Amino acid sequence: MDDDASSLAAPTIFILVALLQIIPRYFENQIRSGGAMSSEEKRLRAEIKQLLKEASSLTQPSTFAQATKLRRTAAAKEKELAKYQEQQMLEMKSSYEPYMKYVTPVKALIYLLLGVWFWKYPVAAISKELVQPFGKMLSWKSGATSNDKIMVGIVPWLILCTRVSKLICRKINI
């Protein structure tokens, strides 16, 4: 490989691996969070809030029955809201589900293709002093040697990129 392709290989592979980690997590979070709140959900929440507010304002013994009735109505609305949210969750999950089952095979295929493509070529070159105790481990199967630099192989680079991108996903709550 020439120097230009080799210098772009490491960041390109990192970006690809990071996207392979971020995109599925983003869709999983969308499914879990339920996406944006619909107008029906907003309406139900507002009704529940209003009913509970009215019920809490009725504190006299003579208005106890009326307050209880309002609380029961609010509880019924909360059940209706929960049913609506569950229905929305199922709809959203069913829209993403066919695609989510292909995520792991696609990741494996891309990792395999990158491994085959860069098996004998270094992905990056790092100063020996920078990675002193881990030099041999990072240059595993890179096929190239240099006196003042450690040539990073594809397997250690993929492992490192995967770990770093998972850490980034965790830190930004994706």
pLDDT for position 5:
52
Q: Which residue has the tokens 């772009």?
A: 8
Residue type, 160: L
Q: Around Cβ 152, how many Cβ atoms within 10 Å?
A: 25
* Mean pLDDT, rounded, of the chain: 82
pLDDT at 48 over 60: yes
Secondary structure letter of residue 126 according to DSSP? E
Q: How confident is the model at residue 145 (pLDDT cuts 50, 70, 90)?
A: low
pLDDT score of 143: 54
At residue 64, the pLDDT reads: 86
Predicted pLDDT at 36: 64
| Cβ-based neighbour number of residue 14 at 10 Å | 19
Residue 81 and residue 48: Cα distance in Å, rounded?
A: 9
pLDDT of residue 17: 92
Residue 160 has pLDDT above 80, yes or no: yes
- The yes-or-no verdict on residue 174 having pLDDT over 90 is no
Residue 108 CA: distances (Å) to CA of 5, 32, 103: 23, 25, 9
Q: pLDDT value at position 146? A: 65
pLDDT in the model for residue 109: 94
Stated pTM of the model: 0.61
Instruction: Tell me which H or E stretch contains 96.
Output: helix 64-100
Band of the pLDDT at 18, cuts 50, 70, 90? very high
Nearest Cα to Cα of residue 122 among 21, 35, 9 = 9
Q: Give kind and range of the element (H or E) at residue 124.
A: strand 124-127
Of 110, 123, 141, 158, nearest in space to 8 by CA? 123
Predicted local distance difference test score (pLDDT) of residue 34: 60
